[in-house]
């Protein structure tokens, strides 16, 4: 538990459905502070209590996770302004991978692209090993530090509130996340849903890393859902994509969850792709 009075907010980093994120300091350390909107916990008192209980339970799980490629979770602020809750996590200096990709001058060369993808795969392998399914893996939720020009660091972030998240998805706040969603999440048979939904999302992340674009940017919501469910829709792969990257990406977004590789397999393939690149002279 972190006291609100121990936090200092420096600047707002962004806001979304769940609340607002700030860059701040906690006892001299740079942190990200996510103030959660009260509306995340709305509903009948019974509902509300259950959501808040879920939130605390989830926070307990997150605080036990320790991996160099998973954003560290420092604690919960129970006494925020107006009784709001907040989470305090590790601060990543370059923000999300999406932000880096959007700055067109920051081209990510092939070697960096492999290092970033490998980091993310290691983080996900760790989470799946702890039986945690992310459900919302995308470039926006991969945080990066690009300060070392030779070695970008990528960590899986925004793990919190996957229960709240799932409800938002079901109740229609899906749009931003749709392109990353596996077909089995959108079709009726929820018995199919396993940790392999994250592998599908990772395939789309690989495409984002490759192209720097947003998947299905000019398509309508309904067309995206229809295309994912009927399994006819995948982002177009540019012809300059190297065969090994293409092959891995296509296996990740296979319509059949059991045909998708595990994150351990993905990480080892990415590593061997890295080692086959010419070493820096």
Task: Enumerate the known binding-site residues for ATP.
Answer: 34
Query: What are the beta bridge partners of residue 77?
Result: 86
Q: Cα-flanking dihedrals φ and ψ of residue 121, to 5°?
A: -65, -40
- Binding-site annotation: residue ranges: 34
Active-site annotation holder among 6, 49, 54, 136: 136
Question: Which of 137, 234, 219 shows the shortest CA–CA distance to 183?
Answer: 234
Report helix, strand or coil for 269: helix
Asked about 256 being catalytic, the answer comes back as: no
Number of H helices, E strands in the chain: 9, 7
Half-sphere CA count of 162, side-chain side, radius 13 A: 16
Q: Cα-flanking dihedrals φ and ψ of residue 52, to 5°?
A: -70, -40
Q: How far is CA 31 from CA 24, 41, 98, 242, in A?
A: 5, 24, 20, 38
The residues carrying an active-site annotation are: 136
């Amino acid at each position: 538990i972190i006291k609100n009075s121990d936090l200092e907010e420096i600047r707002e980093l962004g806001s979304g459905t769940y609340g607002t994120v700030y860059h701040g300091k906690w006892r001299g350390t740079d942190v990200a502070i996510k103030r959660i909107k009260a509306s995340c916990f709305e509903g009948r008192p019974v509902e509300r209590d259950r959501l808040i209980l879920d939130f605390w339970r989830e926070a307990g799980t997150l605080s036990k996770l320790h991996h160099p490629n998973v954003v560290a979770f420092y604690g919960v602020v129970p006494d925020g302004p107006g009784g709001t809750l907040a989470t305090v996590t590790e601060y990543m200096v370059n923000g999300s991978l999406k932000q880096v990709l959007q700055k067109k001058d920051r081209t990510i060369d092939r070697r960096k692209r492999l290092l970033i993808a490998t980091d993310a795969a290691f983080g996900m392998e760790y989470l799946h090993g702890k039986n945690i399914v992310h459900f919302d893996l995308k470039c926006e939720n991969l945080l990066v530090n690009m300060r070392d020009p030779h070695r970008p660091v990528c960590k899986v972030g925004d793990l919190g509130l996957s229960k709240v998240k799932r409800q938002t998805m079901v109740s229609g706040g899906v749009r931003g996340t749709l392109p990353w969603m596996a077909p089995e999440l959108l079709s009726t048979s929820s018995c199919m849903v396993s940790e392999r939904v994250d592998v599908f999302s990772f395939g789309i992340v690989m495409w984002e890393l490759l192209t720097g674009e947003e998947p299905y940017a000019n398509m309508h919501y309904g067309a995206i859902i229809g295309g994912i469910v009927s399994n006819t829709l995948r982002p177009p792969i540019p012809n300059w994509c190297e065969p090994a990257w293409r092959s891995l990406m296509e296996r990740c977004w296979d319509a059949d969850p059991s045909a998708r590789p595990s994150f351990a397999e993905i990480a080892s393939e990415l590593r061997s792709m890295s080692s086959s690149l010419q070493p820096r002279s």
